[in-house]
A and B are shown apart, each in its own frame.
Chain A
Amino acid sequence: MDFLITLVNGLSLGGIYAMIALGYTMVYGIAKMLNFAHGDIIMVGGYTILLFLPINPVLAIVAAIVFCVIVGIVVEKCAYKPLRGSSPLAVLITAIGVSTLLQSLAQVLFGSAPKQQMVDLGALKIGELSIGYSTIITLVCSIAVMVALNLFVKYTKTGRAMVAVSEDKGAAQLMGINVNFIIMITFAIGSALAALAGLFYFLKIQTMTTTFGALPGIKAFTAAVIGGIGSIPGAMVGGLLLGVIECIAQSIPALSPYTDAIEFSILIIILLVKPTGLLGKKRREKV
C-alpha cells in the first residue's frame, strides 16, 4: 500500500520533471542549444502565481502562463537570437548569464527571504490510502499536457514544421518554413510548460525562493538526457522514471539522504550503456 502511494507520488513528481524536460528537449532539438535558463522560467512562473493567487487562482495560472511565455520569447529574441549561427558554447554561456540575470532580478523584486503560501487542496481517501488532490491533479494534468503535445507535434502544421526544423534547419528553410517563427513557438511552448510545472512544483513544496527553479531544472535536464535529449517521448519517459526513482529512494530511510546521488548515478550508468540516452537517436560519424 505504501508502495502504491510512493508510486503515485513518484509519477506525479515525474510529471513535473517531464514537463520541464520537454522544454529542454524541444529547445535542444530545434534551436540546438542547452537552455540553462529554463529552470528560472519555472521560478518566474512560481512568483507570478504567488503574486496573483490572492486575487483569483485561475487568473494566477493564466497570468503565469502568459507571463512565462512573454519572458521566454523576450529572452530568446534578445539573448539567443543574435547568437544564432555562432558557436554553441557562446549560446550556453549566454544562457547561464540569463539564468543569473533572472534570479537576481527576482531577488531585487521579491527579496531573498523565502515566501511561504499554504495551499491545501485536501486529500483523496480510499480506505487507509490518502493521496493529496494536488498530487492527483498534477499527475492528470501532466499526462494530459503530454498527450496534447504529442498530438500537436504529430497532427498540426506547426508541429510538423517543428519536427522538420529539428531534423534539418537549412532544408526546412528551403521548404518555406519560417525557422525563426518555429524557434519562437518552441520557446513559447517550453515556457508555458515551465509555468505549469512551476504551479505544480509550488503546490508540492509551497515555498518560493529565487532558486526555486534550480533543482527541478537540473533534475529535468537529467531526465531529458536519460531519455535522449532532443526526443519528446524520451523526455516524458525520462521525467517519469526519474520522479519514480526519486520517490522510491526517498521512501527508504537509508537511501533518502543520497537521493540526488542515486539519480545522477543512474544517469551515468544509463549513458554508459546507451551513450545517447534511452530513446535518443544514434548517430555516428562517417569515416
Chain B
Amino acid sequence: MANKFTLTLKKALDAIRAKLSKKPEPRKTIESDFVLETESLGITFGGLKAVQNVNLKIKKNEIYGLIGPNGAGKTTVFNLLTGVYLPTDGTFYLGGEELKGLHQEQINHKGIARTFQNIRLFNNMTVVRNVMVGLQNQPEYKCSLFESLFRLPRHFKTERAMRKRAKELLEIFGLLEERNNLACNLPYGKQRKLEIARALATNPRLLLLDEPAAGMNPNETADLMDTIRLIRDKFDMTVLLIEHDLKFVSGLCDRITVLNFGTVLTEGTAQDALNHPDVIKAYIGN
C-alpha cells in the first residue's frame, strides 16, 4: 500500500519535473563532417529580408571569416546562431545537431559561445569572477544551491577549482595581473580579451567573435591574431569571426564568406574571395 503510494507520488513528481524542464521533442540530427552547418538560414523583419539563404559550412579547427559592408547582416547571422533571433527560414546544425529554436543559454550549453561588437562585460565584477561566471555550467563545477547556502565541502571544492581554472585562462590572455581589478577599469584591448576568455570558459566547440579587432591599434591587432591562432591550437577550437579589417581577415582566416544586403556574395579562401569582382564592387563601387 505504502509502496504503491510512493510509486504514484514518484510518477506525479516525474511528470511535474518533465513539464517544468520542458524537454523539447528530440532534435533533428544529420550526418555532418562540419562543426557548423547552416541550411539556407534567413530571417525576415516585417517583410524585410535582413538575411537570407546563408549556407555556411565550417570545418573543425578552421578560422572562418564573415565580412561585408555595413548593414550586410553579419551581426544578424551571429544573433541567429546564438538564439537571440529565431530564424524565419532555414536552420543550423552544430556537429550535426539542430540547434534552431533553443534559448540563448541552451545554445551556449550546446557549445556556441560569442563575444559582442560593443563589449559586454560584467562591469562591476572583478576580472577573475567574469571568467568564473563563464565556468558556471561546466559539469565538473556542479554545486547545488543547497550546498552553496550551507557551505558543504563541495562548495569550497568547486570554488577553488573554478578559481584555479579561471586563473589559467587569464594567464593565456595575459590578464592574470589584472585579475582583481573591476572589469570596467581595464583598458579597451584587455576588455576585448577578457570577453574572449569568458566565452572560452564556457567550453564551446565554436567561438563567434564579433569584430574582435575593433578599436585596436596595429600592434594590438597583430597580438590579437596570435592569440586567436593560439586559441585554435590550444583549445582545439573552431572560430567564426566578423571583421572589417581586411588585412586582419586575410592574414588570419582560412576561408571567408562575404555578405552583402543579407545575401552571400561569394565564399572561398581569403585571397580568392577578396579578389572576386562582386566583392570589389560591393566595397569600392563600380
Interface residues of A (CB under 8 A from B): 286-287
On chain A, the residues within 8 Å of B79 by CB distance are 287
| Closest B residue to A286 using CB positions | B118
Pull 5 A–B residue pairs with CB atoms less than 8 Å apart, ordered by A: A286-B118, A287-B75, A287-B79, A287-B84, A287-B116
On chain B, the residues within 8 Å of A287 by CB distance are 75, 79, 84, 116
Ordered nearest first, which 5 A-B pairs have the shortest CB separation? A287-B84, A287-B79, A287-B116, A287-B75, A286-B118
Interface residues of B (CB under 8 A from A): 75, 79, 84, 116, 118
Expressed in whole angstroms, the minimum distance between the Cβ of B116 and any Cβ of chain A is 7
Alpha-carbon separation in the docked complex, A166 to B202 (Å): 41
Alpha-carbon separation in the docked complex, A286 to B84 (Å): 10
Alpha-carbon separation in the docked complex, A155 to B127 (Å): 52
Alpha-carbon separation in the docked complex, A287 to B84 (Å): 8
On chain A, the residues within 8 Å of B75 by CB distance are 287
Alpha-carbon separation in the docked complex, A287 to B116 (Å): 7
On chain A, the residues within 8 Å of B118 by CB distance are 286
Alpha-carbon separation in the docked complex, A286 to B75 (Å): 10
Expressed in whole angstroms, the minimum distance between the Cβ of A283 and any Cβ of chain B is 16
Expressed in whole angstroms, the minimum distance between the Cβ of A185 and any Cβ of chain B is 35
On chain B, the residues within 8 Å of A286 by CB distance are 118
Expressed in whole angstroms, the minimum distance between the Cβ of A69 and any Cβ of chain B is 41
Alpha-carbon separation in the docked complex, A121 to B79 (Å): 64
| Closest A residue to B82 using CB positions | A287
Alpha-carbon separation in the docked complex, A286 to B78 (Å): 13
Alpha-carbon separation in the docked complex, A72 to B123 (Å): 37
| Closest A residue to B104 using CB positions | A287
Alpha-carbon separation in the docked complex, A142 to B79 (Å): 48
| Closest B residue to A287 using CB positions | B84
Expressed in whole angstroms, the minimum distance between the Cβ of B21 and any Cβ of chain A is 23
| Closest A residue to B79 using CB positions | A287
On chain A, the residues within 8 Å of B116 by CB distance are 287
Expressed in whole angstroms, the minimum distance between the Cβ of B115 and any Cβ of chain A is 12
Alpha-carbon separation in the docked complex, A196 to B254 (Å): 71
Expressed in whole angstroms, the minimum distance between the Cβ of A33 and any Cβ of chain B is 23
Alpha-carbon separation in the docked complex, A191 to B79 (Å): 46
Expressed in whole angstroms, the minimum distance between the Cβ of B139 and any Cβ of chain A is 28
Alpha-carbon separation in the docked complex, A287 to B81 (Å): 13
Alpha-carbon separation in the docked complex, A286 to B116 (Å): 10
Expressed in whole angstroms, the minimum distance between the Cβ of B80 and any Cβ of chain A is 11
Alpha-carbon separation in the docked complex, A287 to B118 (Å): 8
Expressed in whole angstroms, the minimum distance between the Cβ of A89 and any Cβ of chain B is 15
Expressed in whole angstroms, the minimum distance between the Cβ of A285 and any Cβ of chain B is 10
Alpha-carbon separation in the docked complex, A286 to B118 (Å): 9
Alpha-carbon separation in the docked complex, A211 to B79 (Å): 51
Alpha-carbon separation in the docked complex, A286 to B79 (Å): 10
| Closest A residue to B118 using CB positions | A286
Expressed in whole angstroms, the minimum distance between the Cβ of A262 and any Cβ of chain B is 31
Expressed in whole angstroms, the minimum distance between the Cβ of A225 and any Cβ of chain B is 27
Expressed in whole angstroms, the minimum distance between the Cβ of B32 and any Cβ of chain A is 27
On chain A, the residues within 8 Å of B84 by CB distance are 287
Alpha-carbon separation in the docked complex, A40 to B84 (Å): 44
